[in-house]
Amino acid sequence: MKDEFERGLEKGVELGEMNEKVRIAIKLLKIGMKIEEVKEVTGLKIKDIKNIKNDLTEEN
């Protein structure tokens, strides 16, 4: 039972960290930072950053 709880907790932490990286990437892209620079800051994959950027472009 404890193992299941710990695994769930770890997944929750990982998800929270990913959400924070995406939130930061969005802010950086909105101020005009280049994709490579966003990658360096957040550690996200370039394809994921491009997807985020495309989503932002579609919103406007």
pLDDT, position 1? 63
Answer whether 0.75 is exceeded by the pTM: yes
The tens place of each residue's pLDDT in the chain, 60 residues long, gives 668 999 998 999 999 999 999 999 999 999 999 999 999 999 999 999 999 999 998 886
Sequence-separated contacts (24+) of 53-60 with Cβ below 8 Å: 53/29, 56/26, 56/29, 56/30
